[in-house]
Structure 1
Amino acid sequence: MKFNSVVLLSLTSPCLGKIAAAKPQMGWNSWNTFKANINESIIKPTAETLVSSGLAKAGYEYLILDEGWQALTRDGNGRQQANATKFPSGIPALADYVHKLGLKIGIYSDAGIYDCDFFPGSWGNEELDADTYASWDIDYLKYDNCGGFQAGTQSPGERFSIMGNALKNTGRDILYSLCQWGNQFPWFWADQLSDSYRMSGDITSSFAKDNSGVCKTAYCLNTGYAGVSVLTMIRKMRELSGFQSPGSWADMDMLEIGTGTMTEYEEQTHFSFWAALKSPLIIGADITKISNTSLGILLNKEIIAINQDDAGVAVTYLPALSSEGSIQIWAGPLSAGSFGHVVLALNEGGNATSITIPWSGIPELQNSTRASYKVRDVWAAKDLGTIQTGITLLNVSSHQTKVLIVSRA
């Protein structure tokens, strides 16, 4: 039998640029709040707050500098360099400061000649830039797709794999996070070369309202690049949750919790679905000014445990139990204990309602000989006891999600 050489290479070559993240990464990124207007006086207090607030202890270990850290030109040796006004101490000194706090540090670049704000991208300089990041003790690279002028002649898989190879060849473990906005359906190829990949255009700080032109599904090429609401991002994952697996995660973009645009129930729903769908949990708010309510949501240990569960299985949308535009029911298995499932029940409508979930409607429970299960309401932090046949959740508020852990009685 004669094998195609490309296929044979894909079967035998190790994954590129990956540290094979067994669980979705957690951390903080500067973009949502500060855009490109970042500097040392923002980043250092944020790093300190990650520690003092308890976020680092809860698992938010990466502090990521997004776009805006660079000078407009490379240095005399052709290397990317920090903006000396914004970062007078330099990136190596900042990395050392962050590491001494017990955190890891991330940085941003682009698979084009320029990044989105026309700072130098890494196209054609991948090995040089990867070596630079390694020499600075960088732990994480967010790699964007603006300025991808070679996109017409080279596929995203080819362009992003070049940096993946370069990172691997540095010998340093650098988590490789792609930011290609769901372009070219990365769930089919990005797991071969990265630790996470964006499955959609940029999120906006809105629970239900998209910007104009946003596509509601995952399979619509690049229609509606930016301005995706929380509800639409969840809708897109109906088609993609089955692709989630340890080693490379579909990234639903940064969390908008704490930006002051959502109710408490909406922020709970946002966090619940990002966690249960196994998206990376990257905070986008200014945590030095975040409310106690929003901080409490981000620190909820039981929701974080769902995201970091050893099985790495995302919940699945259950259309037979759901009603479009009204009720969404999702469920999936957990590895913790002898048996466990997580069930999400979202009231998408505008008024409070009751939601009934029969155990027979959850695929993994359909063939079970058990008729009753122990149930815990996670957000209420309350054990509901042993419940037979199914459960009716009373008075679920608009945009509220009930998160249930269902286990053997």
Structure 2
Amino acid sequence: MELIALCLIINSLCVASRLAVKPQMETSANTEAIGWNSWNTFKTNFNQSTIEDTASTLVSTGLARAGYNYVVLDEGWQALTRDSHGRQQPNATKFPSGISYLADYVHRLGLKLGIYSDAGIYDCGFYPGSYGFEEVDADTYATWGVDYLKYDNCGGFYANTVSPQERFLTMSYALKNTGRDIFYSLCQWGNQFPWFWADQFSDSYRMSGDIKSSFNSDSSGVCKTAYCLNTGYAGVSVLTMIRKMREISAFQAPGSWADMDMLEIGTGTMTEFEERTHFSFWAALKSPLIIGADITKISSTSLAILLNKEVIAISQDDAGIAPTFLPNISVEGSVQVWAGPLSSQNSKCVILALNYGNNSTDITIPWGQIPTLQNFKSAQLKIRDVWAEQNLKTTGMEIKLLNVSSHQTKLLVLSAIQR
């Protein structure tokens, strides 16, 4: 579909779905926010103090005010066995006050609590999964005051007589039957191409294997495309995650979002340009924005990236449409150009121009190659360079971006000039 057609119809789009009207950053009554997850930094080595410190830091840094409102306990919160009533229970050493206490704590801060389980008999670390206990576990989470469930599929290897779709659907029904609004996030690593089915009963779904804290270096055996049987269970770089989205960005729509996994911004493995590129694409491509760093130790540079209001606004644009990769303007192995419609106020389109080569380069974007711009003259549009915080001038019928550094993305928002 041409971008001009998308821009013309965005104001008439209306897609209703559960909690995920926007990609999990907005804080209004109709949408839900994503904030932080324990896995990237702490794996299973976290406890009550970790969560309390993180929750208070979300508030004190302004991250909560910017929309990062969930505090998600990933794998490692559980005891190794269920209680005498068959219920999951927290590790008493790590969480001596229990999960209800923790939910009350984060709720008093104006935040929400997320928790983790698995659609199999066990989870990835052989803690009890929810297979066969879906209603019991959903009721337990609701009683504790949980607001979000990350639902993994490691244990599917031990419950493989039932399809992932059926097991995920069972938990969806169980959550709805509690009467509590619990955001439902699938973690199935892009297995069986979930963009074709997961939107029927989830609020977000993982479109690939786990992200690696690296801009362009994958672990061994990671598949570069979205449509492959080996989805790259773990070790997918930022650049490969972006590459996979070329094929499926058109599936993004209000109601259920393709999740590109957690943000590695602030983990100390990327340059400032790489972190900006990371955030630009996750926001523009409508992935949930889930911080994976230890925010109690995050640098001021990384924090400023996560707090950038203009980038967050692109994520939360009312149209909910992800940009499209434009191969005719891009140069494989060197430059990627993406463009897509915006609907907020006078904004028309967003353009991302990424130099993923090894050297600085100039990037020229011909006016006529962006379908949305074909009916506009340069004098009719304002071009905002988001990261530079300045407006650009056009040269004739093209946008000329000079000396774009290696791994830098120029994030542009084009708006109509009001006469």
- Give the TM-score normalised by structure 1: 0.94
Q: 2:212 corresponds to which letter in structure 1?
A: T
Q: Residue 6 of structure 1 aligns with which residue?
A: none
Unaligned segments of structure 1, at least 5 residues: 1-14
SS at match of 2:290: strand
Distance 2:76 2:173 in 1: 25
Would the aligned equivalents of 1:213 and 1:223 in 2 still touch at CA under 8 Å? no
* 2:138 is equivalent to residue 139 of structure 1: no
Unaligned segments of structure 2, at least 5 residues: 1-14, 25-33
Distance 2:103 2:267 in 1: 26
1:12-61 alpha-carbon deviations (Å, 9 max, x no partner): xxx9xx73311111210000000011101111000000000000000001
Q: 1:111 aligns with which of 108, 116, 119?
A: 119
Q: Residue 343 of structure 2 aligns with which residue?
A: 335
Would the aligned equivalents of 2:378 and 2:394 in 1 still touch at CA under 8 Å? no
* 329-338 vs 151-160, greater mean Cα deviation: 151-160
Q: 2:298 corresponds to which letter in structure 1?
A: I
Within 5 Å, give how 1:158-177 maps onto structure 2.
158-177=166-185
Off by >4 Å, runs of 4+ in structure 1: 385-388
1:196-244 alpha-carbon deviations (Å, 9 max, x no partner): 0000000000000000000000011134211000000000000010000
Q: Residue 3 of structure 2 aligns with which residue?
A: none
* 2:223 is equivalent to residue 224 of structure 1: no
Q: 2:193 corresponds to which letter in structure 1?
A: F
Distance 1:149 1:318 in 2: 39
SS at match of 1:147: helix
Tell me the matched-pair count: 393
Would the aligned equivalents of 1:374 and 1:386 in 2 still touch at CA under 8 Å? no
Q: Residue 46 of structure 1 aligns with which residue?
A: 54
Q: 2:35 corresponds to which letter in structure 1?
A: G
Distance 1:266 1:147 in 2: 34
Would the aligned equivalents of 1:376 and 1:385 in 2 still touch at CA under 8 Å? no
Q: 1:261 aligns with which of 266, 269, 273?
A: 269
- Give the TM-score normalised by structure 2: 0.92
Q: 1:94 aligns with which of 98, 102, 120?
A: 102
For the structure 1 residues 365 and 146, does the alpha-carbon distance in structure 2 shift closer, same or farther, using more than 3 Å as the test? Answer: same
Would the aligned equivalents of 2:226 and 2:244 in 1 still touch at CA under 8 Å? yes
**Offset at residue 389 of structure 1 (A):** 1.5
Identity of aligned pairs, percent? 75
**Offset at residue 383 of structure 1 (A):** 1.6
Distance 2:69 2:394 in 1: 37
Would the aligned equivalents of 1:109 and 1:121 in 2 still touch at CA under 8 Å? yes
Q: 1:120 corresponds to which letter in structure 2?
A: P
Q: 2:300 corresponds to which letter in structure 1?
A: N
**Offset at residue 407 of structure 1 (A):** 1.6
RMSD over aligned Cα atoms? 1.5
Q: Residue 20 of structure 2 aligns with which residue?
A: 21
Q: 2:228 corresponds to which letter in structure 1?
A: C
Q: 1:20 corresponds to which letter in structure 2?
A: L
